[in-house]
Structure 1
């Protein structure tokens, strides 16, 4: 199962990252409309960043799968133990598939514990959609977040 999940994340990311296919559509084709959103918490403590989030879809169409991206202002440690369906795509980036997002429903809960390369007093965490499963999402106010996490162990909600 993990191999299939990571393969779909990487394939989706290559399509979006390469710029060949705009997120949400195949060439010359507009996908169904959806409104993907992310809600969660970020906490930084002792060089370890914890992220908990839930993807949601406000509709008007269901999304079979999407990929969210987490980008950091600090570098990650070389070795990471990532959650199922997640893959590292750079020195400061991780992507995770959401699983199916039903109309007016939630996807799977995603939890990440990321080890930083060096301890830092703060990290800026950016969460956004890397690939939207073929849907068109016109409202990015609820799926693009920037959170400043201080090295206090406190959780910051988004």
Structure 2
């Protein structure tokens, strides 16, 4: 009887660990976040579309991606519901949940620059990963030069 209880408890613990996903030595599940998309600039307007991807191995309950421009944004912005203005050059957007080896919902936002510029640099990076650990931070940090040409710049 004692042996059965021990096996049941061990089995329950194994199920709990498996449900949380693979973990590193410190106990936090690991995930690898990546962002791909495009940006276009025309006049004082910059349109960005990006799709978050979790290359696993664990599921991410939600993450936040920071988008920072090299030039100040206009004071008034109309942003999607899951995005918020952080400072004069920065917007932070929630990704929603990301399954392991899965794509998240596309984030589409447009911002207006404070003044017309011939170019701006957009930097993207993860600022929160829902309690998961990302050992490879090189692929969730991106810098894109966007020229005022009306052309799409992919990242």
Q: TM-score, length-normalised on structure 1?
A: 0.80
Aligned counterpart, 1:71 = 68
Matched, 1:115 2:136: no
* 1:99 is the counterpart of 2:117: no
* Aligned with 1:86 (options 63, 80, 83): 83
Cα offsets for 1:24-46 (capped at 9, x unmatched)? xxxxx652100000000011111
Misfit runs of 4+, over 4 Å: none
Structure 1 residues not aligned, in runs of 5+? 1-28
> Which one has a larger percent helix, Structure 1 or Structure 2?
2
- Residue 141 of structure 1 deviates from its aligned partner by 2.2
1:150 aligned partner: 147
Deviations 1:52-71 (A, max 9, x none): 00000000000000000000
Please give the secondary structure, in 2, of the residue aligned with 1:40.
strand
Q: Secondary structure at the match of 1:87?
A: strand
Shift of 1:108: 1.2
